[in-house]
Structure 1
């Protein structure tokens, strides 16, 4: 099932301020309870939404490339790490290595990652909604409601319990 990204973009932006308020309420939830709720809703959302049907993260944002990611991908392309950086990456305003352009250079026309087995750590962990210590990444998760339909769905679902 292909995701209507235009509609998602419009809806996620219209709900953003509401989700900001929800994020503030979620900070008051006990950490273990919040982690369990996110894990449950993560599983539920990804039973319904397939990454290959969307790939909006790969189309619109760049992961942060750690040195280990750069070295690994440079080996895949039989390049020196410095050459990989020169060809594909630049430093953002925070000093992190990110892609020069979007959509991701390594995204295939079928939404499959051309370097999937060797993809950066940030891509492996995205959208970070199935991990522990969600309190620490609520701001990131809020931002991801604008990128990932699954994260948006998680916020919509969790909001049923914590929105007032």
Structure 2
């Protein structure tokens, strides 16, 4: 994955794709869930997250208390020791997040705790959230970070414009 090329392309098309997602807040085409599923399947035929890891480089997951306990146990640490070493609590949201970026568990563009990774990481890029249009803000935030999300939104925009009164 050429992240520099992706970043340039995402910057060029960001406004256009954000506008499409914002329009979905107002108007959702009939049968849109089926369209999302079809296009998402196509995305994963050519996107391989293991060649990218941009999410791990530019974002932090939100850790649940269950995540902290599971990962700490895996690392043979107490949850408090794990928290003190790697995490912090955001003052404004109360969310538990990584204290550093890129993620401390990213080693050679691979997750070193993949089997026990946070739920937020396991669900990323959240394309399977339903209904899709309720997560437009999430997708707007991820357009320039996640090639899969960028590709999906670009495909959805084209398909909706081609097949629906928009």
TM over 0.5: yes
Q: 1:160 aligns with which of 124, 147, 158?
A: 158
Residues 52-110 of structure 1 deviation map (CA, whole Å, 9 limit, x = unaligned): 1111101111000010000101111111111111100012232201111111111121x
The runs of 5 or more residues in structure 1 that have no matched partner are none
SS at match of 1:74: helix
In the superposition, the TM-score normalised over structure 2's length comes to 0.90
Q: Deviations over 1:106-148 (max 9, x none)?
A: 1121x22111110000011000112321122111012111111
Tell me the residue number matched to 2:122. Answer: 124
Shift of residue 25, structure 1, vs aligned partner: 2.3
The normalised TM-score by structure 1 is 0.91
CA distance in 1, matches of 2:97, 2:115: 19
Distance in 1, matches of 2:138 and 2:106, equals 23
Q: Partner of 2:99 in structure 1?
A: 100
Residue aligned with 1:90, SS: strand
Q: What is the aligned-residue RMSD (CA, Å)?
A: 1.5
Provide runs of 4+ in structure 1 moved above 6 Å. none
CA distance in structure 2 between the aligned counterparts of 1:102 and 1:33, rounded to whole angstroms: 39
Conservation of the 8 A alpha-carbon contact between 2:59 and 2:101: yes
Where does structure 2 lack aligned partners over 5 or more consecutive residues?
none
> Which of residues 14, 23, 26 in structure 1 aligns to 2:24?
26
